[in-house]
Each structure stands twice: as C-alpha cells, then as structure tokens.
Chains A and B, each alone.
Chain A
Amino acid sequence: MIINLAWKNIWRNKTRSFVIIGAIALGLFSGTYLSALMTGWVMDTVNADIKINLSHVQIHDSTFLQNSDIGAFFNKTAVEQQFASSNINGKMTCRLKLNGMLASANNAVGVTAKGIFKDTEMTVSDIATQIPDSFGVFLPDDARMPVVISEKTAEKLKVRLKSKIVFTFSDIHGNMQSLAFRVSGIFHTSNGLFDEANVFVRYNDIFPVTGLPDEAVHEAAVLLPDIETCALDFPKIKDLYPQLKVQDWKELNPMLSMSLQWTNLMSVIIISIFLFALTFGIINTMLMAVLERTRELGMLGAIGMSKRKIFSMIMLETVFLTFVGSIIGIILAVALLLPSLQNGLDLTPLIGNDFEDFGGFSSIVYPILNVEMILEIIGLVILAGILSAIYPARKALKLKALDAIRV
C-alpha cells in the first residue's frame, strides 16, 4: 500500500513531477550520450592506433628506442620461437625499421621504412586495409621492389601509383645505400603523423643491403585479442624477453593512454556535476511536496501510520521520480545512439579533419554503449535521489501529528 501511495503521490502535482523527471532524464541522457561518444572516440583512436601502428606489445633491442640505431637488432627466429613456446594467445610479426630519405624527381622526405613479412604483418596490422580501392594493393608478391606510401607522402613527393622513388639510408657500416622502389599502394589512416612518417617495403627487398646478419630485425609486434587480455599477458611477455625492451601500447603512446584516462575522468566529472545539480533539484521538489502535505502527513500519523512508514513513503517517492527520469534518459540516449553505433557519427562538419593531423583522432566517431556504465549511472542517480530525499523525509518525521492537523 505504501508503494501504491508513493507512486500515486508523485503524480499529485504532474507539472512539478514532469519538470524534475525531465531534468533527470535530460541530465542522464546528456551524461550517457556524451560518455558513449567520448569513450567511443577515444576507444576508436586507441584501437585504430593499436591495429595500424602500435600493436598491443612491441619488442626492441633496449638501445633501439633511444636513437633508432640500425645496429640495435635482435634475432627474429629466437624471438618468434620463444613466443610460440609460450601459451600466450596472440600473433607476432617482425620488422626492420630503417630511417632514411625517400626521394622522387620532385621532392624528398624523411621517413621510416618498415621492412615487413607480409603474411605475418597482415595478421597483426590493418595497414593493408587502409588502401582505398583504386589506390593499389599492399606489396603484391609478383611486383618487383614495391613500396606502399601514404597519401600525404605521395602528395609531398608528387608521385602516383607505379611512380619510381628512391629510398636512401645508412647501412650497418655507415655506408649510404640507395634502393629504387615502385609505388604499389597508397594508404590513408586517421593518424596523419603516422602517415607522414612511415612507408612499407618487403623485408627481403631491403635486408640484403643493410649489412645486418641473417634474420636480424629491429622490432617484433604482438597483437593480442583485446586490451583487457593485453593487461593480463603483457607481464608474461615481458618475462619472456628479459634481455630486450618490451613495451605495451600505453608505454609506446602515453598520450593515447592518457586520453583514455582523461575521458573516463571527464565522464565522471560531467556526471558528478549533473548529480550535484540534481541533488538540489530533488531536495527542492521533495521539500515542497512535504511542506504542502503537512496536514495530510499529520493525519497519517494520527490514524496510526508509523514514522518509519512515512519516511519510507517519502524515500520511495524520490526513488520513483529518479528511476522514471533515469529510464527515460537512458531510453533517449540509446535511441539516439543506436543509429550511430553501426555507421558512426560523422563530426567532420563540426571539427573538420584537424584531429587526424593531431595524432589519430578520427572525425567519424563510433559511440560505445557500455551497459556497466549505464547501470552505474542509474545507480548513482538513484543514490543521489535517496541522499537528497533524506532531508525532506526527516522534515516530514519532525512533524507532530497534532500540529500538522492544525495547519
């Protein structure tokens, strides 16, 4: 009966209840929508960078990261065998990384040439899928000395598919080596910095002129099922190679990791501000609801309703208000987010492509609806509702039946 009465009481003043339910719904909708958008934006960036650039884990000689020295290599087979003998569920690929100049007849740019093994590279990296149709293919087996460059590099060098370009670098002995390549593919990723800095060639095409010993590589990249698995497996991989520098994606790109933490913090701050404002709204509404029912609450006490039941009734009214508002807010947010979960939300008209140049933030955002996050938000809103109802409910408890009836 108390539940029935509390439910009916919230519809006693429909306008007031709709205003507070609307405020809760709007706040929750904004919080959920923004949170899903921000999480999606950052997670897209994290995943894209992992799939194209970082992988989950990278292994280098400990001195390689300081100066990208060509002599800071390790043995490919040894590293791969150690990985294969572990029970870690992941894919590994190895690369040569050579800094040098890439020149066309018109221009020259500084790049890192990644000498890759195509078969394993494609299990770890999505770079091959970043070549649009009619922009060639990723290092075809039958092509002679193919190179894959980015759209930005192609623009700078003023070259097209099948154009000839020359890569010049210093071999292990310090001698300058030049190799001529033909552009077999032009890629475009959402990370402008990555695009400008990297070109891809076959390991076997570039290795012979490096002067390095057989099976020398500079980098091993490991792709695990997801970042959660990475958090678990990273220490195991680290233990596998005590003599090498093993880093996870967070260490490799601290800014990206920071963006993720910052986004989570921003979500918490936004929701906290909303909850703080909501608390005052609920206190005000419930206080009005109690004060205008002074006589009725007195009568309830007179006919034998205990203070505990009166307190529960006021608390239940608040829970109902916040719950209804929360559900409406969540439904609104989900309804508006659903179409963009599959196709993404194109923010180009608002922010252009500037963020791509900044470091991999795509202008098309795929929001992430996290059920756990939604439940947490609903829980927090109801908790805020309960906490803010305590003062009005205590106010109702202090009413003496006789004094209240006299009002």
Chain B
Amino acid sequence: MTTIIETKNLCKTFKDSAQEVHAVENVSLNIAEGEFTAIVGPSGSGKTTLLNLIGGLDNATSGKIVIDGQDISMLSEKQMTEFRLRNIGFIFQAYNLIPVLTAKENVSFVMDLQGRKKSETNARTRELLEAVGLSDRMDSRPAKLSGGQQQRVAVARALASKPKFILADEPNANLDSKSAQHLLEMMEKLNEQEKITFIFSTHDPRIMAKAKRIITLEDGKIVSDEYK
C-alpha cells in the first residue's frame, strides 16, 4: 500500500507564561492508503492536536509532515487552504454544516469551491447522498435533519472533494448509539468498497472495535501502534 501520510519527529508545544505543554512529542508514523485508523487515548493525550497537524489546521513546532509526497510545513496559509480543499476531507464532532444550505448544497459547496463543472457536481452530489442513505432528504436544511443524518451529510461533504484521506474528530460523540452504529457501518463500507482512508480521533469503543489500526497516545507520545 502507498504511504499517503508520513510524520517525522512531529512536535507541538503550547506555551503559556507558567509552563510549556508538549501536546505532541516526537510523533513519527506512516499511514497508508486505504487504512481505517483510530487515534485513541485519554483526554489531553494529544489526539485532536495530532489530527489538526495532519490536517494542516495547525503548525507544528518542529518535525515534518509529508502528505502524498508534499511537505506541508513548507506551504503558506493560502497554499495550505488550497491543499486542504484538494486533498483532505473533514468530519467534525459538531457536524458543522452550513445551516442556510440544503443537504445537497452543503455537499456540492466543496465541489463548487474546487471549480468543478455543474453537471459533474450535481451527479456526484446525488451519488454521495444516495451512498449515505439520504437521497430522500437532499433538499432539507440541517435544522430539519436528525444528528445522525447531519453527520451523514458531513461524511458526504468530506467525500465530495475526492480527498486522499478523511480526518474525523470524534464523529460519533454527539450521536445516539443507533445513529453512531449506522454511521460507523457506513464509513466502514466506504473504506472497504472504495478504499477511502479514514483517520479517527476517538474515545468510542465501537470505532476502536472496527478500526484496523489503533494508535494510542499518552502525553503526546505514541505508546502503542497496533494492526488488527
């Protein structure tokens, strides 16, 4: 399998007047295409910080992140935004859909930003919403959808840009167990059938049970990295 994410001695230190906090410390890892990986660990262990660094939302204090052969620490803010648009899909804990747009418009928004053709955008939007089981709610706004449905729209949006991988930060945290289970099965299916790479930051034992690789962090350091 091709490596799409490579981190080398990645460090992120937060400083305040009293002390330095090493949120991520010397993390070196490789993630290959098609992986279904969970980054786990107790609160404050550095899971979300690591995810933000990989997603280019935060800058590392030191170390290197190479995505698909591109060292992203060399990119300017503007280039990084464009890089995220083309290469990374995000699923947030709080769904973060655009409330004034319908499910269909939320999904097609990213493709519009990419400047894709209208016909291609429409076809892919329909295809993705069908894949996440929301073909009958395409014209509903987020407020009219349940939490589970909103998160499925968020998954479709993350997939819309045809990213190299998807980062999901506690995607089940705000969902009831049934919705969470349904969402997880859907993402697992996408991973198995379409070889889409998922990287989760999670506490959820259900995700850990389904994940094919579990990276455990404690105090910003990798304490275990297991393939199932």
Contacts and interface: CB of A to CB of B under 8 A. Distances in A.
Q: Which secondary structure characterizes the binding site on chain B?
A: helix
A27 interface: no
A305 B111 CA distance: 11
B78 A302 contact: no
Contact of A8 (B84, B100, B112): B100
A322 B169 CA distance: 40
Q: Which secondary structure characterizes the binding site on chain A?
A: helix
Interface in A288-326: 295-296, 299-307, 309
A299 B82 contact: no
Interface in B98-140: 98-101, 105, 108-110, 112-114
Given A1-B109, A1-B113, A304 B86 contact: yes
Interface residues of A, number: 22
A9 B100 contact: yes
Given A401-B57, A402-B58, A306 B100 contact: no
A405 interface: yes
B126 to A, nearest CB: 17
A12 B94 CA distance: 19
Interface residues on B, range: 20 to 34
B70 interface: no
Interface string A209-229: 000000000000000000000
B81 A307 contact: yes
B55 interface: yes
A4 B90 CA distance: 23
A12 B161 contact: no
Nearest to B53: A402
A302 B113 CA distance: 12
A373 interface: no
Contacts of A299: 90, 92, 96
A303 B157 contact: yes
B82 A5 contact: no
A184 B86 CA distance: 92
Interface of A: 1, 4-5, 8-9, 11-12, 295-296, 299-307, 309, 401-402, 405
Given A302-B55, A304-B110, 11 more contacts: A5-B109, A296-B99, A299-B92, A299-B96, A300-B98, A303-B85, A304-B81, A304-B86, A306-B82, A402-B52, A405-B57
Interface of B: 52, 55, 57-58, 77-78, 81-82, 84-86, 90, 92, 94, 96, 98-101, 105, 108-110, 112-114, 157, 161
